[in-house]
Amino acid sequence: MKKIKPLMLGILAVMAPLFLQAQHEPTELVVDLNEKVSDVSPTMWGLFFEDINFAADGGLYAEMIKNYSFEFENPMMGWGRVEDHGAKGYVFNRKHEAAGANHKFLRMQRLNEEGNFGVSNQGFRGIAVKEGLKYTLTFIAKVAKGQNLTVTAKLWDKNQLIGEGSVSGFSDEWAEYEIEMTSAKTLDGAGFQFLLEGEGELDVDMISMFPEDTWKGRKRGLRKDLVQLLADMNPGFLRFPGGCIVEGFDLENRYEWKKTIGNMEDREVIKNRWNIEFAHRTTPDYYQSFGIGFFEYFQLSEDIGAEPLPILSCGLACQFNTGEQVPIGALDEYVNDALDLIEFANGAVDSKWGAKRAEMGHPEPFGLKFIGVGNENWGPQYIERAKIFEQAIKAAYPEVTIVSTSGPFPDGREFEYLWGELREMDAELVDEHYYRPPSWFRENARRYDDYDRNGPKVFAGEYAAHSTTVREDFKRNNWEAALSEAAFMTGLERNADVVRLASYAPLFAHVDGWQWNPDMIWFDNLRSYGTTNYQVQKLFSTNPGTHVLSITQEGNSLAGENDLYASATIDENTNELIFKIVNTSSEAKQVSIKLGGKYKGNGVGELLEMADKDLEAYNSLDDPEAVIPVSRSIEVNKKTIELELKGQSVNVGRVKLTK
């Protein structure tokens, strides 16, 4: 090893303090308050819903009975037989005589009056009840044989009865009956029994149970805690009914919105395409009852203040599966479905489909502004269909914005082909998807800096950072992923003139019923929580601003320089500056923000700070607030804000402005 000469030691001794000082000098940023770069779309930050991971049945839809109408391929899936203490009888399925969407029912044949006889139901990965809460059981029934028959419903905690109710007075005509039960205990894993008393035969169907505390107290409504998590985000839009579920693994399995409205007995149950999609996560009991149908999606959008954004099949089944195509000459049915949907949402009550909306209890139009044509489709077969849809929709409803797809990937041959064709078509909104490692999101914060300002606008319709630091079959919603998404989102916001809508995906997942991860909100049958990713999305969606401002270092935007990412907006409604700075370094950073222009801060502001030293940190059902934003005050001194940003932190500041 060579010795360092005395002269070199002297130079190092002089330079070291200067080097350390430079390391700790603040990053100086300037916010130009005089010039608004662009507006921020009111729909900028929104929600993507798909019935995956038991998001609808077993999740958002509060129905507690699985296969409640016996329409699964195995009509007794989810059901068990109860026959104890000397009871004798049989249960078997029969077909309804009348044609319709509801094909099968259950005949309960009791041969004596001893013991307990009937059926049990396992629910969706169990049945959960809460102490003191009422549960309403409804069903339709008619007597096939006998008289003085009674149905008793029971809730159990193992051998302890915790809820019970009965109804009688059945006739030989189908009619609906109701039983109310109040649970004496809070329990995830309650037993449910539907018992027949009296000797005879009773036909039953549509056996359904809901808690009383649904969202807005609606009958057959939505799960309150899950909707509240959505409402708390102040979303700009709600995309539904999904992505791949729209296409189906073949065209017969596609999502047909007209089969999801009206009375429940008119909504045909089908196999969910995620039932068989992944060999390592098969879910043979995953079906769609369509208890959440298009009316409920529109209603939910209205409830949470979000613009509805439905996506419809363009006549192409999922190209990762069969890729089945409707011949161009037979596309009219699909195009008419799109036109009829717009009428259902916006039409007058004396129009055919507007009248159906009114019959369902909503005479006022829903005010649909967007409609999507296809999901993750690609190739010339998509473009030729997209042109037909565009021509028809614009001829009838020129005010409705059409969302087109750029395929399933953020780059590559198909992506480039579709973008080229869509530019030629003067497409309005192009839906881009990216599921990539956290590093991709950090490295692509400038993705939209060079997009054509005069070309189609972008809908970042599905995105999520997939952590590579855990085993492949479970990519946890950890802080590394959320932090990287936040860095990327500053780039979306800086380019809000191009990016008009953005949504994380997927939205929901049942902890015991998922097929895909990561996901934004996780739940079991009693509890739910927002992940670190949810908390980041909420920070952006509840602090959007109305116009983009430039926030620069030496005249340049910040997108990874010195491990910092930044964007800024002004909220003209509240006259506030909103800045977002992400520090992806493990080290704390000193930042100085100069307010340039005619405005100044009023002296005090708020900083929402979300940070963790552990990139593997995550929220959970048992610790739902492990990583959440914390509020602290900040000061504006002589039009300058001095900040120390924690390592690995997302920071959102709000400062009132005065002249």
Using the Cα atoms of residue 446, residue 475, residue 410 and residue 372 in order, give the sign of their dihedral: negative
Q: Yes or no: say if 529 and 620 are a contact pair by the CB < 8 Å rule.
A: yes
Q: Distance (Å, rounded) from C-alpha 73 to C-alpha 433?
A: 34
Give me the residues paired with residue 590 across strands. Answer: 644
Q: Distance (Å, rounded) from C-alpha 98 to C-alpha 457?
A: 50
Q: Which of 310, 302, 304, 306 is nearest to 362 (CA)?
A: 302
Q: Which two tokens stand for residue 142?
A: 């008619």
**Strand blocks (E) in 169-248:** 175-182, 187-188, 191-197, 200-211, 237-240
Q: Distance (Å, rounded) from C-alpha 81 to C-alpha 93?
A: 13
Q: Which of 514, 493, 494, 495 is nearest to 453 (CA)?
A: 495
Amino acid at 599: Y
Q: Strands across the sheet with 47-48, in order? A: 47-48, 237-240, 307-312, 370-373, 401-405, 429-436, 457-465, 499-504
Q: Yes or no: say if 257 and 337 are a contact pair by the CB < 8 Å rule.
A: yes
Instruction: State whether residue 395 is helix, strand or coil.
Output: helix
Map tokens 């005090």 to a residue: 604
Q: Which two tokens stand for residue 105?
A: 């029912």
- Strand 237-240 and strand 307-312: pairing? parallel
Q: Which two tokens stand for residue 229?
A: 């998590």
Q: Yes or no: say if 434 and 463 are a contact pair by the CB < 8 Å rule.
A: yes
Q: Which of 517, 645, 637, 535 is nearest to 590 (CA)?
A: 645
CB atoms within 10 A of CB 201: 18
**Strand blocks (E) in 75-174:** 79-84, 89-95, 104-110, 116-121, 128-129, 134-146, 150-157, 160-168
* Residues 6 or more apart in contact with residue 219 via CB below 8 angstroms: 136, 210
Distances (CA, A) of 129 to 123, 438, 522: 11, 39, 19
Compute φ and ψ for 649, nearest 5 degrees. Answer: -135, 150
- Residue 343 bears catalytic tag: no
Q: Which two tokens stand for residue 325?
A: 């195509």
Q: Yes or no: say if 188 and 161 are a contact pair by the CB < 8 Å rule.
A: no
Q: Which of 71, 199, 247, 376 is catalytic?
A: 376
Q: Just list the catalytic residues.
A: 376
